Amino acid sequence: MISLASYLVISMILFAIGITVMIARKNIVAILLGIELILNAAALNFVAYSKFVTQNLDGHVFSLFIIVIAAAEAAVGLAIVIRFFQLKETIHIDEATQLRN
Amino acid sequence: MLEILKASLSVYLPEVVCILLMCFLLIAESMHEKEGTDRIKVYVLATAGLLLAGVFLVLNLSLAPTGAFYNAVVIDSFGTFAKLIMVAGTIGTIWMARQSGDIYTTMKSEFAILAVGTLVGGMLLASANNMLTLYLGIETLSILSYVMATLKRENSASTEAGMKYALYGGLTAGVMLFGMSHIYGMMGSIQFSEIVVKMGMLSGADQVFMMASFLMFFAGIGYKVSAFPFHMWSPDVYQGSPIPVTAFFAIVPKMAGLAVLIRISHLFFSEANGMSSAWIGLLHVVAALTMTVGNITAIGQDSVKRLLAFSSIGHVGMMIMGIVVLDAVGIRAILFYGVTYLFMTLVVFWVTSVLSDAYGTDSQAVFKGLIGRHPSMAIAMIIALFSLAGLPPLSGFVAKFNIISVVVEKGYFGLAFIAALNSVIGLYYYMKLAKEMVFSKSETTGDVPGFTDGVRVSIVALSVPIVLYGIFFGGLMTAAGNAVIFLK
């Protein structure tokens, strides 16, 4: 039997991996993937809580919205990354140094 | 069902007008025939639509607080006041974009369309009454903002600004959602009113867990208002984006974020208990650090856009002080501050926009000797700068005085002291810019081409309220004071 705790642990691990990816990876596309992992961790939480604790549909609806908005955000993010690549010919985050103190 | 929809739509008219306006602007742009010419129709349409939305908002001001769409959003006069500030800011920046050379001529109506869309997100955020609408509002605001920051797409600085904005935004939205999911799990609802009821019945251990979730929740909002630990994106994005976009970012997302922060603090933490004192403590630290970091880093910035970014971080810290006291007087002070900040920001950015178009840079050197060439513009700019610094008898002084006096009345002397110190630091770098305009010799002579008659009239007209609200602040203060009703 899969319990609530297992879902929460999985989502916690996903969240931690997402944060680690965002900090450690230098490839901008990989960083966007890290954002997706964090969002999915939250969506998983919502569904798990909805099933085991609250017994209402709010969590399911919320996770659907998260999926839709994550797609929109990824589309805009990737479009910006493409612009960045066309201008700088790299997608390495360390090349984004034009704006700083 | 139909009745509820009708009743909801009747109070939701301003947002509906803005959404329709966005569609009509898209049609107007696609019907524009001559490439590269001025799109006066788009501007007239945008202004008319936003003014109509403003009229509906003014009508909503006198409304008793009502929930709409099964209480997903709440229409109260506080949120409506914040929306009015946002609508005014949008109109101002759209006209600023018209003459700005920082946005490609072919993309000017895209600025208007995106700005109206972002405004809709901000309005949704300002009246959010459950976590789903709050998240939708923040994301509508953010996703369109990423596009706006990248509007100058052949320019690598603008692209970099948009990318940094998107990456920071995605991270904080994710962290916020993670916090929200735990709040939902603990409380069993995403509706604010139901969460409030259950929050009173939490045990000690649950309160600690809840507070951790609220901290994550704060990350998302703190990022939108650029509060201290989440402010790093703001100078980069402000510097890289085209100037009208920067001016827009300084007004609309900030007011929306502050509105939602005020609503959350007042709904969840107005009862005195362990959680509310923890939240107030958090806001204390955030306000003090936001002000200090913003103002200290602003010293020594040569790029005026970057300087204004840091100064706006400082102003946000000042406004958060008004939330710390958690009562109606604090909200009144913040709304007053918001109105004055709107006018000051528009004047300062408009003058900077024209000068940086003319010289191709936004370094402080372009301001040298402006008073000799365009006395009226230099005086308007100096008025706005002095008001930002908080010198009497300008409206910035009244706004700052209000906030500090509210904090002192509550007995938070330490915070008031830090705010006063910050005003002094702010005075230094605003004065330095004013000094450049008055006492430095200009390197070039002759008129700046961008200061056409229309632009000059607009800037002077925008600087009039800065002076007037400093002397006749009673009316605006009463209006802001009336706009503090909540639906619990």
Residue B38 backbone phi and psi in degrees, to 5: -70, 140
- Chain A: residue nearest B239 by CA? A99
**Are B62 and B162 in the same domain?**
yes
Instruction: State how far the Cα of B283 lies from the Cα of B69, in Å rounded to an integer.
Output: 31
Name which of A15, A66, A76 is nearest B146 (Cβ-Cβ).
Answer: A76
Query: B23 is written with which tokens?
Result: 């569609």
**Are B468 and B329 in the same domain?**
yes
Residues 6 or more apart in contact with residue B14 via CB below 8 angstroms = B53, B54, B56, B57, B60, B80, B83, B87, B123
ipTM: 0.95
**Are B366 and B481 in the same domain?**
yes
Per-residue burial over B81-112, b if 16 or more Cβ lie within 10 Å, else e, is bbbbbbbbbbbbbbbbbbbbbbbbeebbbbbb
Give the number of other Cβ atoms within 10 Å of residue B62's Cβ: 9
Write the DSSP symbol of residue A96.
-
Query: A89 is written with which tokens?
Result: 């010919």
Bridge partners (DSSP) of residue B128 are B73
Pick from A19, A38, A47 the residue to mutate for testing the B interface (most B CBs within 10 Å): A38
Instruction: State how far the Cα of B198 lies from the Cα of B177, in Å rounded to an integer.
Output: 20
**Are B221 and B368 in the same domain?**
no
Q: Is A99 on the interface with B (CB under 8 A)?
A: yes
* Chain A contact set for B147 (CB, 8 A): 76
Distance from CA of B306 to the nearest CA of A (A): 9
Distance from CA of A56 to the nearest CA of B (A): 8
**Are B245 and B371 in the same domain?**
no
**Are B377 and B458 in the same domain?**
yes
Residues 6 or more apart in contact with residue B72 via CB below 8 angstroms = B129, B130, B132, B133
Q: Which of B202, B237, B269 is the last residue of a domain?
A: B269
- DSSP, collapsed to helix, strand or coil, labels residue A92 as strand
Decide if A98 and B167 are in contact by the 8 Å CB cutoff.
Answer: no
Distance from CA of B478 to the nearest CA of A (A): 40
Instruction: State how far the Cα of A57 lies from the Cα of B184, in Å rounded to an integer.
Output: 12
Name which of B154, B163, B190 is nearest A96 (Cβ-Cβ).
Answer: B163
Residues 6 or more apart in contact with residue B112 via CB below 8 angstroms = B25, B42, B43, B46, B94, B97
Angle at B142 between CA B139 and CA B146, to 5 degrees: 140
- Chain B: residue nearest A40 by CA? B174
Q: What is the 3-state secondary structure (H, E, C) of chain B?
A: CHHHHHHHHHHCHHHHHHHHHHHHHHHHHHCCCCCCCCCHHHHHHHHHHHHHHHHHHHHHHCCCCEEECCCCEEECHHHHHHHHHHHHHHHHHHHHHHHCCCCCHHHHHHHHHHHHHHHHHHHHHHCECEHHHHHHHHHHHHHHHHHHHCCCCCCHHHHHHHHHHHHHHHHHHHHHHHHHHHHHHHHCCCEHHHHHHHHCCCCHHHHHHHHHHHHHHHHHHHHHHCCHHHCCHHHHHHHHCCHHHHHHHHHHHHHHHHHHHHHHHHHHHCCCCHHHHHHHHHHHHHHHHHHHHHHHHHCCCCEHHHHHHHHHHHHHHHHHHHHHCCCHHHHHHHHHHHHHHHHHHHHHHHHHHHHHHHHCCCEHHHHCCHHHHCHHHHHHHHHHHHHHHCCCCCHHHHHHHHHHHHHHHCCCHHHHHHHHHHHHHHHHHHHHHHHHHHHCCCCCCCCCCCCCHHHHHHHHHHHHHHHHHHHCCHHHHHHHHHCCCCCC
Q: What percent of chain A has pLDDT over 70?
A: 99
Q: Is B143 on the interface with A (CB under 8 A)?
A: yes
- At position B90, the amino acid (one-letter code) is T
Q: What is the pLDDT of residue B102?
A: 84
**Are B21 and B67 in the same domain?**
yes
A67-72: which pairs have CB atoms within 8 A and are 24 or more residues apart? A67/A43, A69/B135, A69/B136, A69/B139, A69/B143, A70/A35, A70/A36, A70/A39, A70/A40, A72/B139, A72/B143
Q: How many domains does chain B have?
A: 2
Mean pLDDT by runs of 10 across the 488 residues of chain B is 86 93 91 76 92 93 85 90 95 91 84 94 93 94 94 89 92 94 91 87 85 91 90 91 93 94 90 85 93 91 90 93 88 93 94 89 86 89 92 90 92 91 92 88 76 89 91 86 71
Instruction: State how far the Cα of B128 lies from the Cα of B145, in Å rounded to an integer.
Output: 19
Q: Which of B246, B269, B292 is the last residue of a domain?
A: B269
By residue range, what is the domain housing residue B394?
A: 273-488
Decide if B171 and A96 are in contact by the 8 Å CB cutoff.
Answer: no
Q: Is A40 on the interface with B (CB under 8 A)?
A: no
Q: What is the pLDDT of residue A44?
A: 94
Q: Is A91 on the interface with B (CB under 8 A)?
A: no
- B133: closest CA among B145, B124, B142? B124
C-alpha dist (Å) from residue B260 to A68, B85, B201, B257, B265: 23, 14, 24, 5, 8
**Are B215 and B324 in the same domain?**
no
**Are B222 and B282 in the same domain?**
no
**Are B108 and B77 in the same domain?**
yes
- Chain B: residue nearest A22 by CA? B171
Give the number of other Cβ atoms within 10 Å of residue B4's Cβ: 11
**Are B258 and B294 in the same domain?**
no
Query: B411 is written with which tokens?
Result: 């007995």
Q: What is the pLDDT of residue B36?
A: 65
Q: Which of B201, B234, B269 is the last residue of a domain?
A: B269
Taking the mean position of all CA atoms in its chain, how far away is CA B164?
19
Q: Is A7 on the interface with B (CB under 8 A)?
A: no
Q: What is the pLDDT of residue B31?
A: 85
pLDDT of A100 strictly over 80: no
Pick from B110, B148, B158, B159 the residue to mutate for testing the A interface (most A CBs within 10 Å): B159
Name which of B150, B160, B166 is nearest A98 (Cβ-Cβ).
Answer: B160
Please name each of the domains of chain A with its CATH number.
4-95 (1.10.287.3510)
Write the DSSP symbol of residue A91.
-
Query: Do residues B175 and B224 touch, judged by C-beta distance below 8 A?
Result: no
Q: What is the pLDDT of residue B457?
A: 92
Q: What is the pLDDT of residue B441?
A: 80
**Are B265 and B342 in the same domain?**
no
Q: Is B71 on the interface with A (CB under 8 A)?
A: no
